[in-house]
Structure 1
Amino acid sequence: MNNHYILLPANPLFIAFSLVVAFLLNLMPWGQMAGVPDFVALALVFWNIHQPRKVGISVAFLMGLLMDVNEATLLGENALAYTLLSYFAIMIHRRVLWFPLRTQALHVLPLLLLAQAVQLVIQLLVTGKSPDWFYFSESVVSALLWPVVSLLLLAPQRRAVDRDENRPI
């Protein structure tokens, strides 16, 4: 059953809060382990698809610079990957919203793989080291988390402005 809700406008403070939480989750020690999703990339894709006018490419670039400083990588590596990720997410945002959550995850997966591939190419050019065979598992886990992230981040918008016992919305 596909429920379509009339959503309230997204609160800019909640968007900023979710991006800060995603950044803090990336700061956790498990962030360097294989298979742990890039929460910032996942949050950026979500907001680029659902609120492309509020979270655009400039926010992605700034979040990428923050991640570059955090990870002590080449300055601009994450910024470039997040910028491309956001650009393509904004390009397909209208199409993705027509599908159920599982199909949306299949649309998000290539975007996340592209961002990781950009990071991989930059790392190969700069260091010459190739990663482990499970390098792209991060994108697969992120795509599997897409339905959960969607439900969590859309929850505040599903509330009724005026609660009423007789109104279903």
Structure 2
Amino acid sequence: MIMRPGQQLLLPANPVFIWFSLLAALSLNMLMNVGLWGRAPWIPDLLAVVLVFWSVHQPLRIGVGVAFLFGLAMDVHQGALLGQHALAYTVLGFFAISMHRRLLWFPVPNQAIQILPLFAAAHLLSLLVRLLAGDGFPGWSYLLTPVFESILWPLASVILLAPQRRAPDPDANRPL
């Protein structure tokens, strides 16, 4: 892939760090669900953000199957309809992988704008599954969740790409 001028060369992603970040996001999601706000509908889904991030940046390591397994874990934790989160995360993973080549050509703020419809579609799909199962509408604040997840995209990019960044100034020991 041809790099844009000024784009920093990244080290290969460490698989241990990828899985640690996914498990940390799962744990944070679980803590936020039982924490101060309970299951507030406007709380962003951190696991969805991290899954989409790694599906975009490492599509060969994190794919639809991993998204499905983490979705099942969230379904079991929340006591939701089994497959609700799994379906939403699988759709997120599929579309993130399908657009990863195009998405990486844009700067991070533009990536966040392009990821917003992806998060909105996943939440709409999850809402439809909930409504078909007989659950009530969670409220209009539910529509803010994809916006908050899209706002978290630049922060996730900075944090999750930090271990891959090379030293900015090359010297005799670091030629790149």
Q: Same fold (TM over 0.5)?
A: yes
Partner SS for 2:142? coil
CA distance in 1, matches of 2:48, 2:80: 16
Counterpart pick for 1:26 among 25, 29, 41: 29
- Alpha-carbon shift at residue 84 of structure 1 (Å): 0.5
TM-score by length of 2: 0.88
Unaligned runs of 5+ in 1: none
Partner SS for 1:84? helix
Runs (4+) off by over 4 Å: 163-169
1:72 aligned residue: 79
Counterpart pick for 1:9 among 4, 8, 12: 12
TM-score by length of 1: 0.92
Tell me whether 1:138 sits opposite 2:145 in the alignment: yes
CA distance in 2, matches of 1:53, 1:60: 13
1:29-57 CA-to-partner distances (Å, cap 9, x unmatched) read 24622432101100000000000000000
CA distance in 2, matches of 1:51, 1:31: 32
Q: Provide the identity percentage.
A: 51
Tell me whether 1:93 sits opposite 2:96 in the alignment: no
| CA RMSD, Structure 1 to Structure 2 (Å) | 1.8
* Contact 2:8–2:166, Cα closer than 8 Å, also in 1: no
CA distance in 2, matches of 1:3, 1:121: 43
1:152 aligned residue: 159
Unaligned runs of 5+ in 2: none
CA distance in 1, matches of 2:135, 2:57: 37
* Contact 2:72–2:83, Cα closer than 8 Å, also in 1: yes
CA distance in 1, matches of 2:119, 2:59: 17
2:53 aligned residue: 46
Structure 2 residue identity aligned to 1:81: A
CA distance in 2, matches of 1:51, 1:94: 11
CA distance in 2, matches of 1:158, 1:47: 16
Partner SS for 2:73? helix
- Alpha-carbon shift at residue 99 of structure 1 (Å): 0.4
CA distance in 1, matches of 2:139, 2:72: 25
